[in-house]
Amino acid sequence: MTFLFSECCARTNGVRRLLSGTRPSTVRLEAIAEEQRGASGANLWHDVGVPRSSRRSRELYVTCASLAAAALLGFYAKRGYHGPASVWIANSVGGIFYVIFWCLVLVLLLSRARASRIVFAVLTATCVLEFLQLWHPPLLEAARRHFLGRTVLGSYFDWSDFPYYFIGAALAWLWLRAVGRR
């Protein structure tokens, strides 16, 4: 409680100094700017008084939970759903979860990368993999005979997969921004 009170007082004094025209240190100006960005809702993990390591651990927890959910939804869409429009869901909608899944994997691997770069890298790799399905060398064909190879590399080229990759990239970017990735 004392920490929160002192943080509130420090923030008020910093704003007063800004308004009065006295120049606080550059570090304090950056801290005030970061606090204002967090207060605007741009980052869900902005908590006054919560240590940065705690925010990172929450981001890691949410990312891992999201990764598990995306994987389960993707496998369910591809193999488990047998209701109306099951062929469309298995062949097309699964691409949305595929892109989201790989974006979340890259978030875990590249802890400092921006959301836009992660999404762009995954979208580019996914499009390249889609075009690789036009190529049938023995090495790729051997990999595609197994479930994991078919899941990662795909088995046949389809132009209609691209819109779903872009939808998945947009949803992944929105999700990464929501969990605090800039």
- Which tens digit of pLDDT belongs to each residue from 8-43? 444 444 444 444 454 444 455 555 555 555 544 445
Kindly state whether residue 46 falls inside one of the protein's structural domains: no
Residue 174: per-residue pLDDT? 94
11 with 60, same domain: the answer is no
Task: Tell me: do 3 and 70 sit in the same domain.
Answer: no
Domain contains 18: yes
Q: Which region among 49-63, 127-141, 147-161 has the lowest average model confidence (pLDDT)?
A: 49-63
- Do 29 and 117 fall into the same domain? no
The domain in which residue 125 lies consists of 52-178
In a domain, 128, yes or no: yes
CA–CA dist 130, 150 (Å, integer): 12
Yes or no: say if 58 and 45 are a contact pair by the CB < 8 Å rule. Answer: yes
Q: Which range has highest mean pLDDT (43-52, 103-112, 173-182)?
A: 103-112
Q: How far is CA 180 from CA 26, 95, 140, 168, in A?
A: 24, 24, 37, 18
Q: What is the pLDDT of residue 27?
A: 52
> Could you tell me if residue 148 is inside a domain?
yes
Judgement on whether residues 56 and 87 belong to the same structural domain of the protein: yes
Count Cβ atoms within 10 A of the Cβ of residue 142 and give its class: 0-12 exposed, 13-18 middle, 19 or more buried.
exposed
| Residue entry with tokens 């950056």 | 30
What pLDDT is recorded for position 172?
95
pTM score, two decimals? 0.65
134 and 154 assigned to the same domain: yes
- The answer to whether 99 and 122 have CB atoms below 8 angstroms apart is yes
Tally of domains in the chain:
2
| Alpha carbon distance 142, 81 (integer Å) | 27
Instruction: Dump pLDDT digits (tens) for 52-99.
Output: 677 778 888 888 999 999 999 988 988 889 989 888 888 888 889 999
Pair of tokens at residue 176: 């990464």
Same structural domain, 34 and 84: no
With a pLDDT cut of 70, the percent of the chain lying above it is 71
- pLDDT at position 52 is 63
Query: Do 143 and 64 lie in a common domain?
Result: yes
Indicate whether 69 and 102 sit together in one domain.
Answer: yes
Residue 78 counted as domain residue: yes
